[in-house]
Amino acid sequence: MAKKQTYGKPMTKTEILSALAEAAELSKKEVAAVLDALGDVIGKELSKKGPGVFNVPGLLKVKVVDKPATKEHTRPDPFNPGQMMTVKAKPASRRVKVLPLKGLKDRV
């Protein structure tokens, strides 16, 4: 079995703000304000009143997938052949999916 390669710890919020501030030649406060505004815009776009899709150009697409409610039903039990099991009903829900776009895939 191959050993999984590790790359170290993920960046903290402070490290991300510092790196972005240095790259864009802005203050950390300005970068934090931009990220907060980006979060607000994404929230509005993914809300029930919005289109349900948000693109960060060239990097990723965030979209909402609406899962319909399911009724309680019975089906064959995979662990006890010949017996039936009851699957509980589930309410409708909204899932958030993040998909990488070509620009991000090319960088990795």
- The per-residue pLDDT for range 50-78, each reduced to its tens digit, is 999 999 999 999 999 999 999 999 999 99
C-alpha radius of gyration, the chain, whole number:
21
Strands 73-76 and 53-56: unpaired
Residue 85, pLDDT above cutoff 70: yes
- Report pLDDT for 27: 93
How much is the average pLDDT of 94-107?
Answer: 93
Domain limits of the chain?
11-51, 59-108
Residue 107, pLDDT above cutoff 80: yes
Average pLDDT score, the chain: 92
Measured from the Cβ of residue 17, the count of other Cβ atoms closer than 10 Å reads 20
SS3 4: coil
